[in-house]
Copies of this chain bind each other. A is one copy, B any other.
Amino acid sequence: MSEGTAQPLEGEPAARVLVAGASGFAGALAAHLVWRHPRLELVQVTSRGDAGTRLDRLHPRYRVPLVLEQLDLEGIDGVDAAIVAYPHAASAPVVAEMRGLGLQVVDLSADFRLRSREVYEKWYGPHGEPALLADAAYGLPELHREEVRRADLVANPGCYPTAAALALAPLAENGLIADLVIDAMQGISGAGRGGGDELHYVTLSENAYAYKVDAHRHSPEIAQELAALTPGGPPAYELTFVPHLVPLDQGELVDCFVTPTRAVSQDELAELYADRYGDEPFVRVTEEPPGVRDVRDTNECHVHPVRNGSRVVVVAAIDNLWKGASGQAVQNLNLMLGLPETEGLL
């Protein structure tokens, strides 16, 4: 079998794309999605720790026959756009340099997600490029589609905020949330590569546990998005969010427990969600509680709103690596480049 399979490009590419940090789970999937995209050309994949290795050797499931290189922006040429999958703080300076070179950038780190520098620095430490914060669109197309279309820098949302915001947007937009608890679980790919014995197969097999029980930094990101949606300004409640690791490779389930500001019937709920998401290509309102297996290896979010006593419970399922990271990055890139939003993602 010839290993250097050519990219399935249809005619001239809409953009020549670099994926920086392509050795991690999200970066490698981003490279794979760009590689198989009919309108994007993958011109380079980079890695700080794994340069010299072919990407499909490191991640055999992803059929990208390119060798990982050290990122060298000085010599870069003929690149139109980049997806950056660096850790937070490490990402900001690289993104700034890329923007200086005129590249359109989708950044998977947390560095440009929080509009407030103050909030960012409380949770993540000093911000290296605060001037760029105002330029970044928050890349959840279902909430910010037009902003993303116009943006040259898109902050790709966190996986939990993606699922939570999609689960809650119809309620938040109607001012229906009086109090909120979010309980979530994620497969092990969400914890990244590395990790030593904590992520060893034996440690996690037949296991499940909560982490960051006292506070998780996706909380302010969720709060930011809900505040923006809420009519009449930021809501009064303080959300509580606790995530878990469960023995899956990919997949994420987010339960939202809403104390509503007024009684909401099941019919009204159904209508609210059908209206909100009827035209969305990647959001499905389901009749049964969604399983993460149903959305595995897809860019879909399945949302299921239900009344439970006087509360409203909304369950959302995504694949943390797709809609929660790299699939959404390509969805954003499609919008930024004027391509059909679902191109390369079905």
Interface string of A181-193 (1 = CB under 8 A from B): 1010101110001
CB-contacts of A182-217 with B (<8 A): 183, 185, 187-189, 193-197, 199-211, 213-215
Contact A215 B253 (CB under 8 A): no
Interface 9-residue window, one of A81-89, A133-141, A153-161, A310-318: A310-318
Which B residues touch A289, using CB under 8 A? 209-211, 213
Interface string of A13-56 (1 = CB under 8 A from B): 00000000000010000000000000000000000000000000
Interface 9-residue window, one of A120-128, A296-304, A328-336: A296-304
Contact B246 A307 (CB under 8 A): no
Contact A206 B292 (CB under 8 A): yes
Asked whether any CB of chain B lies closer than 8 Å to the CB of A150, the reply is no
Q: Closest CB of chain B to A67's CB: distance in Å? A: 16
Contact A249 B215 (CB under 8 A): no
Of the candidates A8, A291, A300, the one having the most CB atoms from chain B within 10 angstroms of its own CB is: A291
Q: A215-B308, A307-B214 are in contact. Are A208 and B189 (CB under 8 A)?
A: no
Q: A213-B304, A238-B309, A292-B206 are in contact. Are A246 and B185 (CB under 8 A)?
A: yes
Asked whether any CB of chain B lies closer than 8 Å to the CB of A71, the reply is no
Stoichiometry, copies per complex: 4
Q: A181-B257, A310-B238 are in contact. Are A293 and B60 (CB under 8 A)?
A: yes
Task: Please give me the residue from chain B that is nearest to A8 by CB atom.
Answer: B346
Which B residues touch A176, using CB under 8 A? none
Task: Please give me the residue from chain B that is nearest to A283 by CB atom.
Answer: B1
Interface 9-residue window, one of A93-101, A109-117, A274-282: A274-282
Asked whether any CB of chain B lies closer than 8 Å to the CB of A323, the reply is no
Kindly state the separation between the CA atoms of A211 and B304 in the bound complex, as whole angstroms: 11
Contact B309 A240 (CB under 8 A): yes
Contact B284 A257 (CB under 8 A): no
Of the candidates A188, A196, A200, A242, the one having the most CB atoms from chain B within 10 angstroms of its own CB is: A200
Of the candidates A25, A197, A213, the one having the most CB atoms from chain B within 10 angstroms of its own CB is: A213
Asked whether any CB of chain B lies closer than 8 Å to the CB of A3, the reply is yes
Which B residues touch A285, using CB under 8 A? 1
Among B2, B249, B253, contact of A201 (Cβ-Cβ < 8 Å): B249
Contact B306 A214 (CB under 8 A): yes
Contact B240 A296 (CB under 8 A): no
Asked whether any CB of chain B lies closer than 8 Å to the CB of A79, the reply is no
Asked whether any CB of chain B lies closer than 8 Å to the CB of A146, the reply is no
15 A-B residue pairings within 8 Å (CB atoms): A61-B294, A185-B244, A193-B200, A194-B196, A200-B201, A201-B205, A206-B248, A206-B249, A206-B293, A210-B289, A213-B315, A214-B308, A215-B308, A244-B253, A246-B247
Instruction: Please give 9 more A-B residue pairs, beta carbons under 8 A apart, in addition to A205-B249, A206-B250, A208-B248.
Output: A1-B285, A187-B206, A188-B200, A189-B202, A199-B200, A201-B201, A206-B206, A209-B292, A214-B306
